[in-house]
């Protein structure tokens, strides 16, 4: 069994990006600039955005963090997005989700300029991805592809089962794993909350990508020997024995499933670190596009 070590691979990618940024600096050109908008004070979102800012510092990017109050109106947020869309200094930006209830998420995602949408959530970018055109791939699916690629995990002709159909992970993953090329060329089954006999389906899978958000959902009896397991789930579970009072667990019963898997991602330290690394990679790509 091989651990798909997202922490190590993400560090490798950050080092590669830092080397690219150094070349840009040596030429006296503008370095990539990533901005993030966060509305409200959701703890998990603040931590996540903070780690994005730190990652920008590490690779030599400029970064801008726009913090807006929980009472921000939709109009105010749309104004801020317009400002970033029109600012030539900003190569890419993200609007951290979730947003407060008074704001329509879809309207906000549509307002982001697709050329600066480094999260890859805009319908223009999603459509291009579905048609195998060059675009920004959402950071978490992009990170999973990169992990499979760097570990040389064979995907051609394999049966991939995706658990969960979110627009951010499950649905794009099902499209990407079925596309021509590597990683891809697999036969994909997309499962979700209404899927019947899910164990019957997962136990036939060569590759399982679980993005459900249900702790320890995938058990050893649901997995065949030598399957490749990618765990996207990340849930805080109360644990009084830990200093913070909780522990982070994934969708996969790691202790038991890892006994049968050929490759598996840990939680934490698997897919999570890859997401930020690929967001940086998308920002570097955005800067290159704007400089053509």
Active site residues: 52, 96, 119
Whether the Cβ atoms of residue 92 and residue 116 lie closer than 8 Å to each other: yes
Note the Cα 64 to chain centre separation in Å: 20
DSSP letter (8 states) at residue 205:
-
Tell me phi and psi for residue 117, to 5 degrees.
-85, 75
**Which letter, b or e, does each residue of 74-106 get, where b requires 16 or more Cβ atoms within 10 Å of its Cβ?**
eeebbebbeebeeeeebbbbbbbeebbeebeee
> For residues 43 and 5, is the Cβ–Cβ distance under 8 A?
no
Annotated binding residue at 164? yes
Ligand-binding site membership of 166 (annotated): yes
- Residue the block writes with tokens 């951010």: 168
CA atoms within 13 A of residue 124's CA, in its CB half-sphere: 11
Backbone angles phi, psi at 174, to 5 degrees: -65, -35
Pick from 228, 273, 218, 292: nearest CA to 9: 273
Task: Determine if residue 234 is labeled as part of a ligand binding site.
Answer: yes
- Is residue 174 annotated as involved in ligand binding? no
Binding residues for NADP(+): 164-166, 234
Binding residues: 164-166, 234
């Amino acid at each position: 069994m091989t651990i798909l070590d997202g922490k190590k691979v993400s560090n490798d990618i950050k080092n590669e990006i830092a080397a690219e940024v150094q070349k840009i600096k040596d030429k006296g050109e503008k370095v990539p600039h990533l901005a993030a908008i966060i509305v409200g004070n959701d703890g998990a979102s603040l931590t996540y955005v903070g780690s994005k800012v730190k990652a920008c510092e590490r690779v030599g990017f400029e970064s801008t963090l726009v913090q807006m109050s929980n009472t921000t109106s939709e109009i105010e947020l749309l104004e801020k997005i317009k400002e970033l869309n029109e600012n030539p200094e900003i190569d890419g930006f993200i609007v951290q989700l979730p947003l407060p209830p008074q704001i329509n998420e879809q309207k906000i995602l549509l307002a982001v300029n697709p050329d600066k949408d480094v999260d890859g959530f805009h319908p223009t970018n999603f459509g291009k991805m579905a048609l195998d055109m060059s675009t920004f791939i959402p950071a978490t699916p992009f990170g999973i592809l990169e992990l499979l690629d760097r570990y040389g995990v064979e995907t051609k002709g394999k049966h991939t089962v995706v658990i969960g159909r979110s627009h951010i992970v499950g649905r794009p993953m099902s499209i990407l794993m079925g596309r021509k090329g590597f990683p891809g060329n697999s036969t994909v089954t997309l499962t979700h909350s209404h899927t019947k006999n899910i164990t019957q389906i997962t136990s036939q899978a060569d590759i399982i990508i679980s993005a459900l958000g249900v702790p320890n959902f995938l058990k050893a009896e649901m997995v065949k020997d030598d399957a490749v397991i990618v765990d996207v789930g990340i849930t805080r579970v109360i644990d009084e024995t830990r200093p913070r009072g909780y522990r982070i667990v994934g969708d996969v019963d790691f202790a038991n499933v890892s006994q049968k898997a050929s490759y598996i991602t840990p939680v934490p330290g698997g897919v999570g670190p890859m997401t930020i690394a690929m967001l940086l990679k998308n920002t570097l790509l955005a800067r290159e596009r704007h400089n053509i």
